[in-house]
Structure 1
Amino acid sequence: MGNCVTKPETDGYDSDKNVEFSGGNVHLITTKESWDQKMAEASKDGKIVIANFSATWCGPCKMIAPFYIELSEKYPSLMFIVIDVEELTEFSTSWDIKATPTFFFLRDGQQIDKLVGANKPELQKKITAIIDSTSQYPK
């Protein structure tokens, strides 16, 4: 399991910012307003939100991003969002992000679970548990 705790030194070159982090059914959150909008939408639709706090410079974040996008397509009953901790620094700090990636599982804006690190099996397990617990209809 990998996670990033500090930003590496760079030469100022920023490659394809956010491109590899959003896709499929993953919504890119770039403002507090877009966060509020998605939270309201999820509450109205009765969806659980999986919020991925990532950074473009974080290796483990880049590694798990395609899997996260894949999960967003596999589980349309959930809302998948990604927040760049560099773009929304104050907002990310308010969520007490100590390492990236950090995944929050939210129901009506309230945390129901959390995962720190790029652990694919654990992320899949938590999503499966949420799907099982919220499924009112037989599969």
Structure 2
Amino acid sequence: MGQCFPKNANDGEDSDRQVEFAGGNVHLVTTMESWDQKLSEAIKDGKIVIANFSATWCGPCRMIAPLYIELSEKHPSIMFLLIDVDELTEFSTSWDIKATPTFFFLRNGQQIDKLVGANKPELQKKIAGILKSIPSES
């Protein structure tokens, strides 16, 4: 499915365009501190985290962004994060991001699944599978 490969330069694009990527219950991660804070919060609350490594210049990232926002509103039991690979280059490299978008699914800070590319049906399927694995509070 659609994916972009990293560019070398930012080409002077405004990071303002990132706003269209984050909405609903999607939390924009712009610093290591905010990543650590969100991860700690998710672990404390027992939430699964979906970390979307994305880029403003990536067409497939822009294509899947509205669905990602919609899913964040539909599934408040999951924490949806957005990481701009150009803003947090070293951090993205540490996650071995080779293409965008790349989605990591984390439980207790540990990777449980991964999806590379803007594959809408597969993203929805993985989220549905994760939701089934969460014990319901009744």
Q: Which residue of 2 aligns with 1:95?
A: 95
Residue 24 of structure 1 deviates from its aligned partner by 0.1
Matched positions, count: 138
Specify whether residues 59 and 22 from structure 1 end up closer, same or farther in structure 2 by C-alpha distance, changes over 3 A only: same
Specify whether residues 87 and 13 from structure 1 end up closer, same or farther in structure 2 by C-alpha distance, changes over 3 A only: closer
Residue 9 of structure 1 deviates from its aligned partner by 7.7
**Identical-pair percentage:** 77
CA–CA separation in structure 2 for the residues paired with 1:117 and 1:55: 12
Q: Which residue of 2 aligns with 1:136?
A: 136
- Output the TM-score relative to the length of structure 1: 0.93
Map 1:1-139; keep pairs closer than 5 Å: 1-7=1-7, 12-14=12-14, 16-137=16-137
Residue 49 of structure 1 deviates from its aligned partner by 0.1
Specify whether residues 11 and 105 from structure 1 end up closer, same or farther in structure 2 by C-alpha distance, changes over 3 A only: closer
Residue 136 of structure 1 deviates from its aligned partner by 2.7
Specify whether residues 9 and 30 from structure 1 end up closer, same or farther in structure 2 by C-alpha distance, changes over 3 A only: closer
- Residue by residue over 1:86-127, the C-alpha shift from the partner in whole angstroms, topping out at 9 and shown as x without a partner, is 000000000000000000000111000000000000000000
Name stretches of at least 5 consecutive residues in structure 2 with no aligned partner: none
Specify whether residues 15 and 105 from structure 1 end up closer, same or farther in structure 2 by C-alpha distance, changes over 3 A only: closer
CA–CA separation in structure 1 for the residues paired with 2:10 and 2:27: 27
Name stretches of at least 5 consecutive residues in structure 1 with no aligned partner: none
CA contact (8 A) 2:10 2:86 kept: no
